[in-house]
Chain A
Amino acid sequence: MQSFPVNGYDMAYLEIGEGRPLVCVHGTLGDFRTWYSVLGPLSKNHRVISVSLRHFFPEHWDAIGDDYKMAQHVADTIAFIEQVEPGPVDLMGHSRGGHIAFRVAQTRPDLLRKLVLAEPGGDLDASLPLPEGTPAYPPLAAKTIRSVEMIRAGDIEGALQNFYEGIEGDGSWRRVPAAAKQQLRDNTPTLLGQINEQRRPYTLADAQAIRTPTLLIGGGATTGSLSLMWRVLAEHIKGAQTAVIPNAGHWMFEQAPQEFGDVVSRFLAE
Protein backbone atom coordinates (compact mmCIF):
# COMPACT_ATOMS: atom_id res chain seq x y z
CA MET A 1 0.00 0.00 0.00
CA GLN A 2 1.11 3.52 -0.78
CA SER A 3 -0.50 6.89 -0.13
CA PHE A 4 -0.22 10.56 -0.91
CA PRO A 5 -2.02 13.65 0.37
CA VAL A 6 -5.13 14.65 -1.60
CA ASN A 7 -7.14 17.71 -0.50
CA GLY A 8 -5.68 17.38 2.99
CA TYR A 9 -6.43 13.64 3.26
CA ASP A 10 -3.83 10.89 3.01
CA MET A 11 -5.33 8.73 0.26
CA ALA A 12 -4.24 5.08 0.19
CA TYR A 13 -3.86 3.05 -2.99
CA LEU A 14 -2.39 -0.13 -4.46
CA GLU A 15 -0.33 0.05 -7.62
CA ILE A 16 0.44 -3.12 -9.59
CA GLY A 17 1.70 -3.80 -13.10
CA GLU A 18 3.23 -1.75 -15.86
CA GLY A 19 1.76 0.15 -18.76
CA ARG A 20 -0.78 2.93 -19.06
CA PRO A 21 -2.36 3.91 -15.73
CA LEU A 22 -5.81 2.48 -15.01
CA VAL A 23 -7.28 4.16 -11.92
CA CYS A 24 -9.98 2.06 -10.21
CA VAL A 25 -12.61 3.45 -7.85
CA HIS A 26 -14.59 1.16 -5.51
CA GLY A 27 -18.24 1.56 -4.55
CA THR A 28 -20.29 1.55 -1.35
CA LEU A 29 -18.62 -0.45 1.46
CA GLY A 30 -15.63 -1.15 -0.83
CA ASP A 31 -12.00 -0.10 -0.72
CA PHE A 32 -8.87 -0.78 -2.75
CA ARG A 33 -9.45 -4.51 -2.14
CA THR A 34 -12.69 -4.40 -4.17
CA TRP A 35 -10.60 -5.09 -7.26
CA TYR A 36 -8.44 -7.91 -5.78
CA SER A 37 -9.90 -10.55 -8.09
CA VAL A 38 -9.01 -8.64 -11.24
CA LEU A 39 -5.62 -7.27 -10.20
CA GLY A 40 -4.04 -10.35 -11.78
CA PRO A 41 -5.85 -10.24 -15.13
CA LEU A 42 -5.72 -6.44 -15.49
CA SER A 43 -2.12 -5.92 -14.34
CA LYS A 44 -0.88 -8.04 -17.25
CA ASN A 45 -1.35 -5.04 -19.55
CA HIS A 46 -1.93 -2.06 -17.29
CA ARG A 47 -0.52 -0.18 -14.37
CA VAL A 48 -3.51 -0.76 -12.12
CA ILE A 49 -3.97 1.89 -9.44
CA SER A 50 -6.73 0.95 -7.00
CA VAL A 51 -7.65 3.71 -4.56
CA SER A 52 -9.39 3.79 -1.22
CA LEU A 53 -11.59 6.86 -0.98
CA ARG A 54 -11.65 9.16 2.03
CA HIS A 55 -12.81 7.30 5.20
CA PHE A 56 -12.78 3.81 3.69
CA PHE A 57 -10.40 1.02 4.81
CA PRO A 58 -7.46 1.15 5.65
CA GLU A 59 -8.80 4.04 7.72
CA HIS A 60 -10.92 2.92 10.66
CA TRP A 61 -13.30 5.87 10.51
CA ASP A 62 -15.28 7.00 13.56
CA ALA A 63 -18.04 8.39 11.28
CA ILE A 64 -17.58 11.83 12.79
CA GLY A 65 -17.41 14.86 10.49
CA ASP A 66 -19.30 15.96 7.42
CA ASP A 67 -16.78 15.34 4.65
CA TYR A 68 -18.28 12.07 3.40
CA LYS A 69 -19.99 13.62 0.41
CA MET A 70 -20.27 12.64 -3.22
CA ALA A 71 -18.78 16.02 -4.18
CA GLN A 72 -15.83 15.48 -1.84
CA HIS A 73 -15.05 12.03 -3.27
CA VAL A 74 -15.28 13.40 -6.81
CA ALA A 75 -12.94 16.27 -5.89
CA ASP A 76 -10.55 13.82 -4.19
CA THR A 77 -10.53 11.52 -7.22
CA ILE A 78 -9.80 14.46 -9.52
CA ALA A 79 -6.97 15.68 -7.30
CA PHE A 80 -5.60 12.13 -7.12
CA ILE A 81 -5.64 11.67 -10.91
CA GLU A 82 -3.98 15.07 -11.40
CA GLN A 83 -0.95 13.59 -9.62
CA VAL A 84 -0.78 10.38 -11.69
CA GLU A 85 1.86 10.52 -14.45
CA PRO A 86 1.60 10.15 -17.36
CA GLY A 87 -1.89 11.50 -18.00
CA PRO A 88 -4.50 11.26 -19.34
CA VAL A 89 -5.44 8.04 -17.49
CA ASP A 90 -8.05 5.34 -17.95
CA LEU A 91 -10.64 5.47 -15.18
CA MET A 92 -12.87 2.63 -13.99
CA GLY A 93 -15.55 2.80 -11.31
CA HIS A 94 -17.94 0.28 -9.78
CA SER A 95 -21.37 1.11 -8.37
CA ARG A 96 -21.04 4.32 -6.33
CA GLY A 97 -17.47 4.50 -7.68
CA GLY A 98 -19.00 4.42 -11.16
CA HIS A 99 -21.03 7.46 -10.19
CA ILE A 100 -17.83 9.16 -9.08
CA ALA A 101 -16.03 8.23 -12.30
CA PHE A 102 -18.99 9.56 -14.33
CA ARG A 103 -18.78 12.91 -12.50
CA VAL A 104 -15.02 13.07 -13.01
CA ALA A 105 -15.54 12.53 -16.74
CA GLN A 106 -18.21 15.23 -16.76
CA THR A 107 -16.08 17.75 -14.85
CA ARG A 108 -12.56 17.04 -16.10
CA PRO A 109 -12.55 15.20 -19.45
CA ASP A 110 -9.01 16.50 -19.98
CA LEU A 111 -7.76 14.05 -17.33
CA LEU A 112 -9.22 10.93 -18.96
CA ARG A 113 -8.46 8.78 -21.98
CA LYS A 114 -11.15 6.12 -21.49
CA LEU A 115 -13.92 5.50 -18.99
CA VAL A 116 -15.27 2.16 -17.69
CA LEU A 117 -18.46 2.15 -15.63
CA ALA A 118 -19.42 -1.14 -13.99
CA GLU A 119 -23.09 -0.81 -12.97
CA PRO A 120 -22.77 2.82 -11.89
CA GLY A 121 -24.98 3.80 -8.96
CA GLY A 122 -27.33 6.70 -8.52
CA ASP A 123 -30.76 7.80 -9.63
CA LEU A 124 -32.20 8.99 -12.91
CA ASP A 125 -34.11 12.25 -13.03
CA ALA A 126 -37.23 12.85 -15.17
CA SER A 127 -35.16 13.68 -18.27
CA LEU A 128 -33.91 10.05 -18.34
CA PRO A 129 -37.10 7.97 -18.30
CA LEU A 130 -36.94 4.19 -17.97
CA PRO A 131 -38.13 2.20 -20.99
CA GLU A 132 -41.91 1.62 -21.19
CA GLY A 133 -43.12 -1.25 -19.07
CA THR A 134 -40.11 -1.33 -16.72
CA PRO A 135 -41.18 -2.34 -13.23
CA ALA A 136 -40.60 0.29 -10.55
CA TYR A 137 -37.88 -0.61 -8.07
CA PRO A 138 -37.62 0.88 -4.61
CA PRO A 139 -34.64 3.25 -4.43
CA LEU A 140 -31.56 1.77 -2.77
CA ALA A 141 -31.32 4.87 -0.56
CA ALA A 142 -34.22 3.55 1.54
CA LYS A 143 -32.29 0.31 2.11
CA THR A 144 -29.23 2.32 3.14
CA ILE A 145 -31.27 4.26 5.73
CA ARG A 146 -32.58 1.00 7.19
CA SER A 147 -29.04 -0.41 7.33
CA VAL A 148 -27.84 2.68 9.19
CA GLU A 149 -30.57 2.22 11.79
CA MET A 150 -29.37 -1.35 12.25
CA ILE A 151 -25.72 -0.26 12.60
CA ARG A 152 -26.74 2.29 15.26
CA ALA A 153 -28.56 -0.52 17.07
CA GLY A 154 -25.36 -2.62 16.96
CA ASP A 155 -26.52 -5.15 14.36
CA ILE A 156 -23.65 -4.90 11.88
CA GLU A 157 -24.28 -8.28 10.28
CA GLY A 158 -27.97 -7.50 9.79
CA ALA A 159 -27.13 -4.11 8.31
CA LEU A 160 -24.75 -5.63 5.78
CA GLN A 161 -27.21 -8.35 4.85
CA ASN A 162 -29.99 -5.81 4.39
CA PHE A 163 -27.79 -3.65 2.17
CA TYR A 164 -26.43 -6.55 0.13
CA GLU A 165 -29.79 -8.25 -0.40
CA GLY A 166 -31.29 -4.92 -1.45
CA ILE A 167 -28.99 -5.24 -4.46
CA GLU A 168 -28.57 -8.98 -5.04
CA GLY A 169 -31.92 -10.22 -3.77
CA ASP A 170 -33.24 -12.12 -0.75
CA GLY A 171 -31.10 -15.04 0.35
CA SER A 172 -27.98 -13.81 -1.47
CA TRP A 173 -25.98 -12.80 1.62
CA ARG A 174 -25.38 -16.30 2.92
CA ARG A 175 -23.78 -17.25 -0.40
CA VAL A 176 -21.18 -14.45 -0.25
CA PRO A 177 -17.65 -15.77 0.46
CA ALA A 178 -16.51 -14.86 3.97
CA ALA A 179 -13.53 -12.91 2.59
CA ALA A 180 -15.83 -10.64 0.56
CA LYS A 181 -18.13 -10.16 3.56
CA GLN A 182 -15.21 -9.17 5.74
CA GLN A 183 -14.16 -6.50 3.27
CA LEU A 184 -17.63 -4.93 3.39
CA ARG A 185 -17.67 -5.24 7.19
CA ASP A 186 -14.39 -3.32 7.44
CA ASN A 187 -16.13 -0.34 5.81
CA THR A 188 -19.35 -0.38 7.81
CA PRO A 189 -18.92 3.15 9.30
CA THR A 190 -18.95 4.71 5.83
CA LEU A 191 -22.65 3.87 5.48
CA LEU A 192 -23.30 6.32 8.33
CA GLY A 193 -21.78 9.06 6.17
CA GLN A 194 -23.51 7.92 3.03
CA ILE A 195 -27.09 8.72 4.08
CA ASN A 196 -26.28 12.43 3.84
CA GLU A 197 -23.83 12.37 0.96
CA GLN A 198 -25.89 14.63 -1.31
CA ARG A 199 -25.74 12.67 -4.52
CA ARG A 200 -27.57 14.29 -7.43
CA PRO A 201 -29.51 12.19 -9.95
CA TYR A 202 -28.21 11.75 -13.48
CA THR A 203 -29.80 14.01 -16.10
CA LEU A 204 -29.96 13.72 -19.85
CA ALA A 205 -27.63 16.72 -20.11
CA ASP A 206 -25.14 14.97 -17.77
CA ALA A 207 -25.06 11.87 -19.99
CA GLN A 208 -24.75 13.92 -23.17
CA ALA A 209 -21.86 15.85 -21.62
CA ILE A 210 -19.63 12.73 -21.44
CA ARG A 211 -17.07 12.98 -24.25
CA THR A 212 -14.68 10.29 -23.05
CA PRO A 213 -14.91 6.92 -24.87
CA THR A 214 -17.00 4.90 -22.44
CA LEU A 215 -17.68 1.22 -21.75
CA LEU A 216 -20.60 0.32 -19.50
CA ILE A 217 -20.56 -3.17 -17.97
CA GLY A 218 -23.43 -4.99 -16.32
CA GLY A 219 -23.84 -8.37 -14.71
CA GLY A 220 -26.28 -10.58 -16.61
CA ALA A 221 -27.89 -11.72 -13.36
CA THR A 222 -28.19 -8.30 -11.69
CA THR A 223 -31.75 -7.25 -10.92
CA GLY A 224 -33.29 -4.01 -9.70
CA SER A 225 -32.40 -0.42 -10.47
CA LEU A 226 -28.67 -1.09 -10.88
CA SER A 227 -29.45 -3.37 -13.83
CA LEU A 228 -31.36 -0.55 -15.55
CA MET A 229 -29.34 2.57 -14.92
CA TRP A 230 -26.30 1.70 -16.99
CA ARG A 231 -28.50 0.71 -19.92
CA VAL A 232 -30.30 4.06 -19.84
CA LEU A 233 -27.03 5.99 -19.53
CA ALA A 234 -25.55 4.00 -22.43
CA GLU A 235 -28.39 5.20 -24.66
CA HIS A 236 -27.32 8.81 -24.19
CA ILE A 237 -23.53 8.74 -23.81
CA LYS A 238 -22.14 9.41 -27.26
CA GLY A 239 -20.54 6.29 -28.78
CA ALA A 240 -20.87 4.30 -25.56
CA GLN A 241 -20.12 0.58 -25.73
CA THR A 242 -21.74 -2.00 -23.49
CA ALA A 243 -20.87 -5.46 -22.24
CA VAL A 244 -22.76 -7.98 -20.14
CA ILE A 245 -20.94 -10.51 -17.95
CA PRO A 246 -23.13 -13.64 -18.05
CA ASN A 247 -24.19 -15.33 -14.81
CA ALA A 248 -22.75 -12.52 -12.70
CA GLY A 249 -24.42 -10.01 -10.42
CA HIS A 250 -23.49 -6.56 -9.21
CA TRP A 251 -20.01 -7.61 -7.98
CA MET A 252 -19.36 -9.15 -11.41
CA PHE A 253 -15.56 -8.89 -11.26
CA GLU A 254 -15.47 -11.07 -8.12
CA GLN A 255 -17.82 -13.60 -9.67
CA ALA A 256 -16.20 -13.73 -13.13
CA PRO A 257 -12.72 -12.18 -12.88
CA GLN A 258 -11.35 -13.56 -16.13
CA GLU A 259 -14.37 -12.53 -18.22
CA PHE A 260 -14.42 -9.07 -16.63
CA GLY A 261 -10.68 -8.64 -17.20
CA ASP A 262 -11.03 -9.67 -20.85
CA VAL A 263 -13.86 -7.22 -21.52
CA VAL A 264 -12.02 -4.31 -19.93
CA SER A 265 -8.65 -5.10 -21.52
CA ARG A 266 -10.22 -5.41 -24.98
CA PHE A 267 -11.93 -2.03 -24.65
CA LEU A 268 -8.82 -0.29 -23.38
CA ALA A 269 -6.69 -1.81 -26.16
CA GLU A 270 -8.93 -0.56 -28.99
Chain B
Amino acid sequence: MIAPSLRHFFPAKWDGVGDTYSIAQHVSHVIAFIETLDLGPVDLMGHSRGGHICFRVAQQRPDLLRRLVLAEPGGELDASLDPDYVGGPSPLLARFTASAAKIAAGDVDGGLAVFVDTLEGAGTWPRLPAMVKQNLRDNAYTLIGQVRDNRPPFSKADAESIKMPTLFILGARTKGLLPKVLHALAAHVPYSKTAIIPNATHPMFEQAPQKYSEVVLDFLAS
Protein backbone atom coordinates (compact mmCIF):
# COMPACT_ATOMS: atom_id res chain seq x y z
CA MET B 1 0.00 0.00 0.00
CA ILE B 2 1.49 3.31 -1.12
CA ALA B 3 -0.04 6.56 0.19
CA PRO B 4 1.67 9.62 -1.31
CA SER B 5 1.20 13.21 -0.15
CA LEU B 6 0.55 15.46 -3.15
CA ARG B 7 2.64 18.56 -3.78
CA HIS B 8 2.26 21.19 -1.01
CA PHE B 9 0.44 18.86 1.39
CA PHE B 10 1.85 17.68 4.72
CA PRO B 11 4.71 17.04 5.44
CA ALA B 12 5.40 20.10 3.25
CA LYS B 13 4.64 23.37 4.98
CA TRP B 14 3.34 25.46 2.11
CA ASP B 15 2.49 29.15 2.46
CA GLY B 16 -0.17 29.13 -0.29
CA VAL B 17 1.87 31.40 -2.56
CA GLY B 18 2.44 30.56 -6.23
CA ASP B 19 0.65 28.80 -9.07
CA THR B 20 1.95 25.31 -8.42
CA TYR B 21 -1.26 23.88 -6.97
CA SER B 22 -3.77 22.64 -9.54
CA ILE B 23 -5.60 19.51 -10.63
CA ALA B 24 -3.55 19.46 -13.84
CA GLN B 25 -0.30 19.63 -11.89
CA HIS B 26 -1.34 16.96 -9.39
CA VAL B 27 -2.57 14.66 -12.17
CA SER B 28 0.77 14.90 -13.94
CA HIS B 29 2.57 14.19 -10.66
CA VAL B 30 0.49 11.11 -9.90
CA ILE B 31 1.17 9.82 -13.43
CA ALA B 32 4.90 10.40 -13.02
CA PHE B 33 4.81 8.82 -9.56
CA ILE B 34 3.15 5.64 -10.86
CA GLU B 35 5.59 5.50 -13.79
CA THR B 36 8.51 5.81 -11.40
CA LEU B 37 7.20 2.96 -9.26
CA ASP B 38 7.67 0.81 -12.36
CA LEU B 39 5.45 -1.95 -10.94
CA GLY B 40 3.30 -2.39 -14.02
CA PRO B 41 -0.39 -1.48 -13.89
CA VAL B 42 -1.40 -0.55 -10.34
CA ASP B 43 -4.69 -0.24 -8.49
CA LEU B 44 -5.46 3.42 -7.87
CA MET B 45 -7.75 4.79 -5.15
CA GLY B 46 -8.67 8.41 -4.56
CA HIS B 47 -10.89 10.24 -2.13
CA SER B 48 -12.74 13.52 -2.79
CA ARG B 49 -10.38 15.83 -4.71
CA GLY B 50 -8.03 12.84 -4.90
CA GLY B 51 -10.85 10.94 -6.59
CA HIS B 52 -11.04 13.68 -9.19
CA ILE B 53 -7.30 13.33 -9.76
CA CYS B 54 -7.52 9.54 -10.08
CA PHE B 55 -10.40 9.88 -12.56
CA ARG B 56 -8.25 12.13 -14.74
CA VAL B 57 -5.28 9.78 -14.46
CA ALA B 58 -7.53 6.93 -15.59
CA GLN B 59 -8.75 9.03 -18.50
CA GLN B 60 -5.27 10.04 -19.65
CA ARG B 61 -3.24 6.94 -18.90
CA PRO B 62 -5.37 3.79 -18.75
CA ASP B 63 -2.24 1.78 -19.50
CA LEU B 64 -0.94 2.53 -15.96
CA LEU B 65 -3.97 1.18 -14.11
CA ARG B 66 -5.50 -2.18 -13.35
CA ARG B 67 -8.48 -1.03 -11.27
CA LEU B 68 -9.86 2.27 -10.08
CA VAL B 69 -11.55 3.10 -6.75
CA LEU B 70 -13.25 6.48 -6.39
CA ALA B 71 -14.52 7.39 -2.93
CA GLU B 72 -16.91 10.31 -3.41
CA PRO B 73 -14.86 12.01 -6.11
CA GLY B 74 -14.99 15.78 -6.02
CA GLY B 75 -15.80 18.05 -8.94
CA GLU B 76 -18.59 19.55 -10.96
CA LEU B 77 -20.87 18.23 -13.70
CA ASP B 78 -21.31 19.89 -17.09
CA ALA B 79 -24.56 20.06 -19.06
CA SER B 80 -24.08 16.57 -20.54
CA LEU B 81 -24.35 15.02 -17.05
CA ASP B 82 -26.55 17.48 -15.22
CA PRO B 83 -30.01 18.40 -16.55
CA ASP B 84 -30.06 21.33 -14.11
CA TYR B 85 -26.72 22.69 -15.32
CA VAL B 86 -26.66 26.48 -15.25
CA GLY B 87 -22.97 27.12 -15.91
CA GLY B 88 -20.67 29.34 -13.94
CA PRO B 89 -18.53 28.37 -11.01
CA SER B 90 -19.36 25.59 -8.56
CA PRO B 91 -22.06 26.58 -6.08
CA LEU B 92 -19.59 25.64 -3.35
CA LEU B 93 -16.82 27.90 -4.65
CA ALA B 94 -18.01 31.02 -2.84
CA ARG B 95 -18.01 29.18 0.48
CA PHE B 96 -14.59 27.64 -0.17
CA THR B 97 -13.24 31.05 -1.18
CA ALA B 98 -14.49 32.48 2.12
CA SER B 99 -12.81 29.58 3.91
CA ALA B 100 -9.49 30.19 2.13
CA ALA B 101 -9.68 33.92 2.89
CA LYS B 102 -10.01 33.20 6.62
CA ILE B 103 -7.04 30.81 6.49
CA ALA B 104 -4.92 33.32 4.57
CA ALA B 105 -5.78 35.90 7.25
CA GLY B 106 -4.50 33.55 9.95
CA ASP B 107 -7.84 32.19 11.20
CA VAL B 108 -7.06 28.56 10.37
CA ASP B 109 -9.73 26.95 12.55
CA GLY B 110 -12.36 29.44 11.39
CA GLY B 111 -11.55 28.74 7.75
CA LEU B 112 -11.61 24.99 8.26
CA ALA B 113 -14.97 25.23 10.05
CA VAL B 114 -16.46 26.90 6.95
CA PHE B 115 -14.93 24.26 4.68
CA VAL B 116 -16.04 21.25 6.72
CA ASP B 117 -19.52 22.62 7.43
CA THR B 118 -20.03 23.32 3.72
CA LEU B 119 -19.33 19.67 2.89
CA GLU B 120 -20.81 17.93 5.92
CA GLY B 121 -23.48 20.29 7.22
CA ALA B 122 -23.59 23.18 9.66
CA GLY B 123 -22.19 22.40 13.11
CA THR B 124 -19.96 19.52 11.97
CA TRP B 125 -16.57 21.12 12.71
CA PRO B 126 -16.99 21.41 16.51
CA ARG B 127 -18.01 17.75 16.66
CA LEU B 128 -15.00 16.41 14.74
CA PRO B 129 -12.49 14.36 16.76
CA ALA B 130 -9.43 16.46 17.61
CA MET B 131 -7.18 14.09 15.67
CA VAL B 132 -9.21 14.61 12.50
CA LYS B 133 -9.17 18.38 12.97
CA GLN B 134 -5.39 18.37 13.34
CA ASN B 135 -4.89 16.48 10.10
CA LEU B 136 -6.94 19.15 8.28
CA ARG B 137 -5.11 21.92 10.11
CA ASP B 138 -1.74 20.59 8.95
CA ASN B 139 -2.95 21.08 5.36
CA ALA B 140 -5.06 24.22 5.73
CA TYR B 141 -2.96 26.38 3.40
CA THR B 142 -3.61 24.09 0.44
CA LEU B 143 -7.19 25.43 0.40
CA ILE B 144 -5.76 28.77 -0.71
CA GLY B 145 -4.34 27.08 -3.79
CA GLN B 146 -7.49 25.06 -4.32
CA VAL B 147 -9.88 27.97 -4.71
CA ARG B 148 -7.62 29.47 -7.40
CA ASP B 149 -7.68 26.22 -9.37
CA ASN B 150 -10.11 26.36 -12.26
CA ARG B 151 -10.75 22.66 -12.79
CA PRO B 152 -12.95 21.62 -15.70
CA PRO B 153 -16.25 19.86 -14.87
CA PHE B 154 -16.88 16.18 -15.62
CA SER B 155 -18.69 15.42 -18.88
CA LYS B 156 -20.54 12.35 -20.13
CA ALA B 157 -17.75 11.73 -22.65
CA ASP B 158 -15.21 11.82 -19.78
CA ALA B 159 -17.16 9.16 -17.87
CA GLU B 160 -17.61 6.97 -20.94
CA SER B 161 -13.88 7.07 -21.62
CA ILE B 162 -12.97 5.28 -18.35
CA LYS B 163 -12.17 1.77 -19.49
CA MET B 164 -10.95 -0.10 -16.41
CA PRO B 165 -13.13 -1.78 -13.77
CA THR B 166 -14.17 1.01 -11.41
CA LEU B 167 -15.66 1.00 -7.94
CA PHE B 168 -17.49 4.07 -6.64
CA ILE B 169 -17.86 4.30 -2.86
CA LEU B 170 -20.51 6.44 -1.25
CA GLY B 171 -21.19 7.28 2.37
CA ALA B 172 -24.89 6.56 2.91
CA ARG B 173 -25.37 9.80 4.82
CA THR B 174 -23.38 12.17 2.61
CA LYS B 175 -25.52 15.04 1.37
CA GLY B 176 -25.29 17.62 -1.38
CA LEU B 177 -23.21 17.71 -4.52
CA LEU B 178 -20.87 14.76 -3.83
CA PRO B 179 -23.53 12.00 -4.12
CA LYS B 180 -24.99 13.71 -7.19
CA VAL B 181 -21.58 13.72 -8.92
CA LEU B 182 -20.93 10.12 -7.92
CA HIS B 183 -24.25 8.83 -9.25
CA ALA B 184 -23.87 10.77 -12.52
CA LEU B 185 -20.40 9.36 -13.12
CA ALA B 186 -21.32 5.84 -12.05
CA ALA B 187 -24.20 5.84 -14.53
CA HIS B 188 -21.80 6.39 -17.42
CA VAL B 189 -18.52 4.72 -16.50
CA PRO B 190 -18.97 1.44 -18.40
CA TYR B 191 -17.50 -1.20 -16.05
CA SER B 192 -18.46 0.36 -12.75
CA LYS B 193 -20.25 -0.59 -9.59
CA THR B 194 -21.19 1.40 -6.54
CA ALA B 195 -20.81 0.40 -2.90
CA ILE B 196 -22.53 2.26 -0.09
CA ILE B 197 -21.04 2.48 3.40
CA PRO B 198 -23.91 2.59 5.93
CA ASN B 199 -24.02 5.30 8.57
CA ALA B 200 -21.04 7.11 7.05
CA THR B 201 -20.47 10.48 5.40
CA HIS B 202 -17.70 11.92 3.24
CA PRO B 203 -14.70 10.66 5.29
CA MET B 204 -16.30 7.19 5.26
CA PHE B 205 -13.06 5.25 5.75
CA GLU B 206 -12.33 7.10 8.99
CA GLN B 207 -15.85 6.47 10.21
CA ALA B 208 -16.15 2.83 9.14
CA PRO B 209 -12.63 1.53 8.45
CA GLN B 210 -13.52 -2.16 8.58
CA LYS B 211 -16.50 -1.97 6.25
CA TYR B 212 -14.64 0.31 3.85
CA SER B 213 -11.64 -2.02 3.69
CA GLU B 214 -13.88 -5.05 3.08
CA VAL B 215 -15.57 -3.33 0.16
CA VAL B 216 -12.27 -2.32 -1.42
CA LEU B 217 -10.59 -5.70 -0.89
CA ASP B 218 -13.62 -7.54 -2.35
CA PHE B 219 -13.51 -5.34 -5.42
CA LEU B 220 -9.77 -5.69 -5.93
CA ALA B 221 -10.00 -9.48 -5.53
CA SER B 222 -13.02 -9.94 -7.82
Residues of A within 8 A of B (CB): 16-17, 36-41, 43-44, 177-180, 182, 185, 254-258
**Nearest Cβ in chain B — how far from A221, in angstroms?**
13
Whether A178 and B130, one on each chain, are in contact in the complex, defined by CB atoms closer than 8 angstroms, is no
Give, as a whole number of angstroms, the nearest-CB distance from B120 to chain A.
15
Q: Is B36 an interface residue (CB 8 A)?
A: no
Q: Is the interface of A mostly helix, strand, loop or mixed?
A: helix
B10 at the binding interface (Cβ < 8 Å): yes
B134 CB contact (under 8 Å) in A16, A37, A178, A180:
A37
User: Apart from A39-B138, A180-B131, A254-B131, what are 7 other A-B pairs with CB-CB below 8 Å?
Assistant: A17-B11, A36-B131, A40-B138, A43-B11, A177-B132, A178-B207, A254-B129
Given contacts A17-B11, A40-B137, A40-B138, contact A256 B130 (CB under 8 A): yes
B134 touches A40 (CB 8 A): yes
Residues of chain B within 8 A (CB-CB) of A180 are 129, 131
Our pick among A16, A43, A179 for the contact of B131 (Cβ within 8 Å) is A179
**B209 contacts A by Cβ under 8 Å:** yes
CB distance from A173 to the nearest CB of B (A): 14
B135 touches A182 (CB 8 A): no
SS class, residues of chain B in contact with chain A: helix
Residues from chain A with a CB closer than 8 A to the CB of B130 are: 37, 254-257
A46 to chain B, nearest CB (A): 12
Known: A180-B129, A255-B130. A40 touches B206 (CB 8 A): no
Q: Across the interface, do B131 and A37 meet the contact criterion of CB distance under 8 Å? A: yes
A257 and B131 contacting across the interface, CB-CB below 8 Å: yes
| Of B129, B135, B208, most A-chain CB atoms within 10 Å | B129
Tell me the smallest distance from the CB of A142 to a CB of chain B, in Å. Answer: 29
- Tell whether, in the assembled complex, residue A40 and residue B131 are in contact, meaning their CB atoms are under 8 Å apart: no
Give bound CA distance, A226 to B134, whole Å: 25
Q: Which residues of A contact B222 (CB under 8 A)?
A: none
B13 on the A face (CB < 8 A): yes
Query: Residue on A with the closest CB to B10?
Result: A40
Query: Which residues from chain B contact A41 at a C-beta distance below 8 Å?
Result: 134
How long is the Cα–Cα vector from A257 to B129 in the complex, in angstroms? 11
- CB of A44 within 8 A of CB of B206, answer no
B126-150 near A? 1/0 per residue, CB < 8 Å: 0001111011011000000000000
* B209 in complex: contacting residue of A38, A39, A179, A255, CB < 8 Å: A179
CB contact list, B200-222 vs A, under 8 A: 206-210
B11→A182 contact, CB < 8 A: no
> Which chain B residues border A17 with CB–CB below 8 Å?
11
Q: How far is the CA of A96 from the CA of B138 in the complex (A)?
A: 28
List B contacts of A178 (CB < 8 A). 206-209
**Residues of B with C-beta under 8 A to A257:** 130-131, 134
Can you show 9 pairs from A to B with CB atoms below 8 A apart?
A: A36-B131, A39-B138, A40-B135, A41-B134, A43-B11, A179-B131, A179-B206, A255-B130, A257-B131
Residue of A nearest to B209 (CB): A182
Please report the C-alpha to C-alpha distance between residue A41 and residue B133 in the assembled complex, in whole angstroms.
12
Nearest 3 CB-CB pairs, A to B?
A40-B138, A177-B129, A182-B209
Chain B residue nearest to A18 in the complex (CB):
B11
**A43 proximity list for chain B (CB < 8 A):** 11
Most chain A beta-carbon neighbours within 10 Å: one of B131, B137, B207, B208? B131
Closest Cβ neighbor of A181 among chain B residues: B209
Nearest chain A CB to B124's CB is how many angstroms away?
Answer: 14
B171 to chain A: closest CB distance in Å? 12
Kindly name the residue among B10, B13, B130, B207 whose own CB sees the greatest number of chain A CB atoms within 10 A.
B130
Task: Give min CB distance, A149 to chain B, whole Å.
Answer: 23
Residues in B with CB closer than 8 Å to A37 are: 130-131, 134-135
Which of chain A's residues has its CB closest to B134's CB?
Answer: A257
Give the Cβ gap from A242 to chain B, nearest Cβ, in Å.
22
Taking a contact as CB atoms under 8 Å apart, the answer to whether B132 and A36 are in contact is no
Are the CB atoms of B11 and A16 closer together than 8 Å?
A: yes
Whether B210 and A182, one on each chain, are in contact in the complex, defined by CB atoms closer than 8 angstroms, is yes
Complex Cα gap A137–B13 (Å): 45
In the bound complex, how far is the Cα of B208 from the Cα of A256, in angstroms? 23
Using Cβ atoms and an 8 Å threshold, which residues of chain A touch B208? 178
How far in angstroms is the closest Cβ of chain B from A16?
A: 5
Interface centre among A16, A37, A41 (most CB of B within 10 A): A37
Nearest chain-B residue to A38 (Cβ)? B134
Bound-complex Cα distance A259 to B130 (A): 11
Give bound CA distance, A179 to B13, whole Å: 24
Complex CA gap A36/B130 in Å reads 11
Least CB distance, A154 to chain B, in whole angstroms:
15
**Given A16-B11, A17-B11, A44-B13: A179 touches B137 (CB 8 Å cut-off):** no
